Amino acid sequence: MGSASDMMMSSSSSSLAKIGKASSTDESDNVWSSILSEVRSNASVKLPSGKSIVVLGDNESGKTTLVAKLQGIEDPKKGCGLEYAYVEIRDEYRDDSTQLGVWVLDGNPSHNHLLRFALTEKSFSNNLIMLTVSMASPWSIIDQLQFWAGILHDHIDSLNLSPDTIKEYREKCVRRWVDYVEPGDELDNIVSGKPASSNNPRNSKNLEEEPILPHNTLTRNTGLDIVVVVTKTDHISTLERENDYVDEHFDFIQFHVRQFCIQYGAALFYTSVKEDKNCDLLYKYLVHRIYGLPFRTPALIVEKDAVFIPAGWDNEKKMAILQENMTNIKPEDFYNEIIQKPVVTRKAVNREAEVEVEDEQSFLERQLTLLQQQAANPKDARLSPNLNISKGSTPGDKRSSLGLPSTLNTTPKKGDSTSSERVLANFFNSLLSKKTGGSPSAPNSLNDASRSDAAAELDSLISKKKLNSLNSSDC
């Protein structure tokens, strides 16, 4: 009996061992099969299509240039109304590619109604919003952000979305914010049992938990993923040089922009296409947020012209560091009182009075009238270099164009000899040659001789007129 029982026990133990071995083999096979199925499913996943970015911002805020940089285009073309472009997205790991659509709305408020073509009920969950402002005009940054956020809110309210759908989208934004983990801390969180980042799946228990948001965070939840981009940060040096901006001013600007981003659950980028700052990082972050591709860059707040703050990283405690750097400015001050638009003063330009040129024919007629008056009253006539016009001058002649006669053409009077006319003609010709430069070969002695002859002739004419007047009086 004992031997029989021993045999039964040994047979049962051997069968249990076989069963345990078989179960362990099945378990290992299940593990490997699950790994293979996961790899197979990941390999079969393709980049989704139909994703797009909606870019909002004022004109001259750098929207077109920024989109062209994301596309890799050197010469951007600016359009009007609602523009559409696309960015080539490539996943090197999966050897897959797709196209990311980009809608750019004109900064003119009259085109705001076109937003309905870019952001619809069907495409709502596939869109990311990019708000652009420019450091070239920092005094209007907050006003522009609030204006375009208001346009976005109004458009979302006009969409035919049910309250449950809006609530679902807003809960996703809250989850994205709460699930953010600093790159490199994922392994530490897994070991310590903290919630995983949004790059890894969450378990069902964590999904059912109600997320707790920090103070003043996502108070204006739109249900959309938002990225705020401050462009043209290369103007910071210009603001320092021409407007006397210091680090306090830029900390004040960053503080208020980060407040806006926390309220809307947005990420923040400072970019410069001109100096190629943060443009590639912006591309990688957009691909990460839209397609879930890996992103390993932490927040960057050291360089004032290349700030990067991912959504979920910031809070009021971290912003307190900026407050400590402000000594002459209070963070709670009104934005436009500290960052004021410079007053442009125009310098008075001293312009010379315009001189209108007299018409040539009018000038000649006026000189002719004066000459005729002097001829009619020979006693009042005074020969001077200013009387240098004759009735026979022509406008086409070089001398007449200067208001000077080429010859003296007067009617001889009684008692005047031909030699007198010749001497007077020589006299005026000498004056003419002096005015116009004369002939380079003519010696100055000839002109002096002509002047002396003319003076002698004039004296003789005066004496003759006196004698004639005396004779007439004697008679």
Question: What are the sequence ranges of the domains in the chain?
Answer: 45-338, 360-474
In this structure, what token pair is assigned to residue 49? 């299509």
| Least confidently predicted of 88-102, 268-282, 285-299, 306-320 | 88-102
Place of tokens 């951007």: 76
Output the pLDDT for position 424.
65
Q: C-alpha distances in angstroms, 167 versus 72, 176, 345?
A: 37, 14, 52
Residue 200 pLDDT grade (very low, low, confident, very high; cuts 50, 70, 90): very low
Output the pLDDT for position 318.
93
Q: How far apart are CA 312 and CA 262, in angstroms?
A: 8
Q: What is the average per-residue pLDDT within 328-337?
A: 91
- CB-based contact 133:142 (threshold 8 Å): no
Output the pLDDT for position 78.
80
In this structure, what token pair is assigned to residue 436? 């116009």
| Least confidently predicted of 168-177, 237-246, 390-399, 419-428 | 390-399
In this structure, what token pair is assigned to residue 366? 């006026």
Instruction: Answer yes or no: is pLDDT of 401 > 50.
Output: no
Beta bridge partners of 228: 131, 268
Q: Does residue 267 sit in helix, strand or coil? A: strand
Q: How many CA atoms lie within 13 A of 404 on its CB side?
A: 20
In this structure, what token pair is assigned to residue 13? 């133990």
More confident residue, 105 or 22: 105
Q: What is the average per-residue pLDDT within 453-474?
A: 66
Instruction: Answer yes or no: is pLDDT of 206 > 60.
Output: no
| Of the candidates 174, 228, 216, the residue with the CA atom closest to the CA atom of residue 198 | 174
Q: How far apart are CA 473 and CA 459, in angstroms?
A: 21
Give the single-character DSSP code of 468: H
Q: How far apart are CA 275 and CA 406, in angstroms?
A: 71
- CB-based contact 226:265 (threshold 8 Å): yes
Output the pLDDT for position 127.
96
Place of tokens 């090197």: 92
Average pLDDT value for the chain: 78
Output the pLDDT for position 468.
66
In this structure, what token pair is assigned to residue 306? 């290349």
| 140-183: pLDDT as tens digits | 999 999 999 999 999 999 999 999 999 999 999 999 999 999 88
Output the pLDDT for position 136.
95
Residue 205 pLDDT grade (very low, low, confident, very high; cuts 50, 70, 90): very low
Residue 139 pLDDT grade (very low, low, confident, very high; cuts 50, 70, 90): very high
Taking every pair of C-alpha atoms in the chain, what is the biggest distance, in angstroms? 200
How many beta carbons lie within 10 A of that of residue 263, not counting itself? Answer: 15
| 37-95: pLDDT as tens digits | 665 555 556 788 899 999 999 999 999 999 999 999 888 888 889 999 999 998 887 78
| Of the candidates 53, 55, 46, 96, the residue with the CA atom closest to the CA atom of residue 79 | 55
Give the single-character DSSP code of 363: H
More confident residue, 415 or 73: 73
| 344-386: pLDDT as tens digits | 766 666 677 778 888 888 888 888 888 888 777 765 555 444 4
Q: What is the average per-residue pLDDT within 254-270?
A: 97
One-letter amino acid at 363 equals: F
- CB-based contact 96:49 (threshold 8 Å): no
Output the pLDDT for position 150.
96
More confident residue, 105 or 76: 105
More confident residue, 264 or 420: 264
Question: Beta strand pairing status for 127-134 and 225-231?
Answer: parallel
> Taking the chain, what is the end-to-end CA distance rounded to the nearest angstrom?
200
Output the pTM of the full model.
0.64
Beta bridge partners of 105: 82
Instruction: Answer yes or no: is pLDDT of 421 > 90.
Output: no
Rg (CA), the chain: 48
Q: Could you say which architecture CATH assigns to the domain 45-338? A: 3-Layer(aba) Sandwich (3.40)
Q: How far apart are CA 123 and CA 224, in angstroms?
A: 11
Instruction: Answer yes or no: is pLDDT of 207 > 80.
Output: no
Q: How far apart are CA 61 and CA 133, in angstroms?
A: 5
Length of the chain: 475
One-letter amino acid at 145 equals: L
